């Protein structure tokens, strides 16, 4: 028996149903007021109101997952560039699926991997980037972070 002939379930509706299931799974534990709030989109050179622990040096957080191919592509670039700045900038590489990192993932609203969060010494998020950067782009953002 061919399920396509005897069912109204089509491939696009199946994909839509799966997408809705993931969407509502994120909201299952949220209060109605949380669901209706819009998170502010962060843009380059715009401060975001997330506060983290202040330190003597700026920090760059990289959020990744083990199954993310762009994360694997970006990892050597991130490591080599940040190693050149290790005396001026701290780095923190965090697996987004590790429960030990859940509070930071939630605080920063991480839903895309890789995500970089640039935090100044005062503890304010000054820049956030989702996706893969080239070595030159990452260098530029780090130099901007150091001049703030």
Active-site residue set: 68, 71
Residue count (the chain)? 148
Measured at the alpha carbon of residue 109, what is the angle toward residues 129 and 122, in degrees to the nearest 5? 70
Phi, psi of 51 (to 5 degrees): -115, 130
Provide the sign of the torsion angle of the four alpha carbons 80, 129, 70, 134, taken in this order: negative
C-alpha 111/C-alpha 104 separation (Å) is 12
44: exposed, middle or buried (Cβ count in 10 Å: 0-12, 13-18, 19+): exposed
């Amino acid at each position: 028996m061919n399920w396509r002939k005897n069912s109204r379930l089509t491939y696009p509706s199946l994909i839509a149903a799966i997408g809705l299931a993931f969407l509502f799974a994120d909201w299952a534990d949220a209060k109605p007021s949380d669901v209706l709030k819009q998170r502010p989109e962060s843009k380059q050179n715009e401060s975001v109101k997330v506060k983290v622990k202040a330190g003597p040096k700026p920090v760059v957080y990289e959020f990744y997952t083990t199954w993310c191919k762009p994360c694997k592509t970006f990892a050597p670039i991130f490591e080599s560039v940040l190693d050149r700045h290790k005396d001026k900038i701290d780095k923190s590489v965090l697996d987004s699926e590790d429960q030990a990192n859940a509070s930071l993932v939630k605080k920063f609203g991480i839903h895309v991997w890789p995500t970089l969060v640039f935090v100044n010494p005062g503890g304010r998020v000054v820049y956030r980037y989702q996706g893969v950067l080239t070595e030159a782009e990452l260098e530029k953002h780090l130099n901007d972070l150091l001049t703030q």
